[in-house]
């Protein structure tokens, strides 16, 4: 099974690869297969990081969405065969439930010279290895949507045929749109529940806190400003102070003050237990999404 590349030269993980953060321009061609929310986040993050949009391909089932993306970022629409022919890296970004027809399309056109990167929750690298040409390198990634502002948290794991060079390439690519951690694939379902879904928990919390402002009679616009800036400030302190969250929370919590009254209510309503149960449920769902493709 072969793929005729337009440029049959060495793939970017051989002979030096990418020079690193912020210097992506012109280095390699990436194709995002399925340009929905996370696919767009990656494309837009890479464009903002300086990647040449003409070296960013995508496939998309919805024609309307495809023309929007071309207009917005100057990236290039392709079909699966065209993407596999031109790109060094194929990034799979369809819903796990939509993976089967895409694998059918990819199987005849992908070979071991193309690095396949899956962003799909739950799907193990073994699924891609089983369905694509023998020896195809696969890297599983769990990113998150703050990629659009260059603040993603991505966790990456190598499949059976992915080398350290493949991992390094993916790491450099994703470092241009946020932070990257290498994790054993066995931890990916838990990571998905923590940082993949994580931004949603913070948005949910912010939404609830704005509602509390409304309850207390604060106009919505002001409540929104107060809470978003508090979230940004707290996140910056967490990221920059090096302090444990408990220490930072204790510094806000005065004896017999206002904060401890709120904390007592959070404990009474089981918010910590709810968070543990919620993240466990997300982990279980990620495992379940993977199991659905175990025996095909």
Residue tagged 């948005």 (tokens) = 203
Restricting to residues 46-65, name those near ligand NAI by CB under 6 A: 59-62, 65
Q: What region, left, alpha or beta, does residue 122 occupy, with left being phi > 0 and alpha being psi -120 to 50 degrees?
A: left
Chosen from ligand NAI, ligand A1CAB, none, partner binding at 39 (C-beta under 5 to 8 Å by type): ligand NAI
Q: Comparing C-alpha atoms, which of 67, 65, 174 is closest to residue 115?
A: 174
- Selection from ligand NAI, ligand A1CAB, none that 65 binds (CB < 5 to 8 A by kind) is ligand NAI
| Options 13-21, 61-69, 192-200, 223-231: segment touching ligand A1CAB (CB under 6 A) | 192-200
Decide: is 28 part of the binding site for ligand NAI (CB under 6 A).
no
192 binds ligand A1CAB (CB under 6 A): yes
Question: Residue holding tokens 């895409």?
Answer: 102
Q: Please, what is the angle between helix 220-241 and helix 198-215, to 10°?
A: 140
Residue 262 makes CB contacts below 8 A (sequence gap 6+) with none
Phi, psi angles (nearest 5°) of residue 123:
-80, 125
Q: Which stretch binds ligand NAI (CB under 6 A): 30-38, 106-114, 129-137, 207-215?
A: 30-38
Q: Does 93 bind ligand NAI (CB under 6 A)?
A: yes
What's the burial of 15, exposed, middle or buried (CB within 10 Å: 0-12/13-18/19+)? Answer: exposed
Annotated binding site for NADP(+): 93-96
Contact residues for ligand NAI, defined by CB under 6 A? 33-39, 59-62, 65, 93-96, 98, 101-102, 119-121, 142-145, 196
Contact residues for ligand A1CAB, defined by CB under 6 A? 121, 192, 196-197
């Amino acid at each position: 099974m072969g793929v005729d590349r337009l440029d049959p030269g060495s793939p970017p993980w051989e002979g030096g690869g990418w020079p690193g953060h912020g210097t992506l321009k012109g280095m390699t061609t990436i194709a995002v297969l399925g340009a929905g929310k996370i696919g767009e986040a990656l494309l837009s993050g890479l464009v903002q990081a300086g990647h040449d949009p003409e070296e960013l391909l995508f496939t998309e089932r919805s024609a309307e969405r495809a023309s929007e993306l071309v207009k917005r970022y100057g990236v290039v629409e392709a079909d699966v065969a065209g993407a596999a022919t031109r790109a060094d890296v194929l990034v799979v970004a369809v819903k796990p439930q939509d993976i089967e027809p895409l694998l059918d399309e990819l199987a005849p056109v992908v070979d071991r010279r193309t690095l396949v990167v899956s962003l799909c929750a739950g799907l193990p690298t073994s699924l891609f290895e089983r369905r694509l040409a023998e020896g195809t390198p696969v890297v599983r990634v769990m990113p998150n949507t703050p990629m659009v502002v260059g603040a993603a948290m991505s966790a990456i794991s190598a499949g059976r045929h992915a080398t350290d060079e493949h991992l390094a390439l993916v790491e450099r690519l994703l470092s241009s749109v946020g932070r990257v951690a290498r994790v054993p694939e066995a931890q990916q379902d838990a990571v998905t529940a923590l940082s993949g879904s994580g931004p949603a928990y913070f948005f949910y919390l912010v939404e609830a806190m704005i509602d509390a402002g409304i309850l207390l009679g604060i106009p919505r616009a002001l409540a929104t400003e107060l809470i978003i800036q508090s979230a940004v400030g707290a996140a910056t302190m967490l990221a920059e102070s090096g302090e444990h969250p408990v220490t930072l929370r204790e510094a806000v919590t005065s004896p017999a003050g206002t904060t401890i009254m709120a904390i007592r209510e959070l404990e009474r309503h089981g918010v910590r237990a709810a968070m543990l149960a919620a993240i466990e449920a997300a982990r279980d769902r990620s495992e379940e999404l993977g199991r659905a493709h175990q025996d095909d």
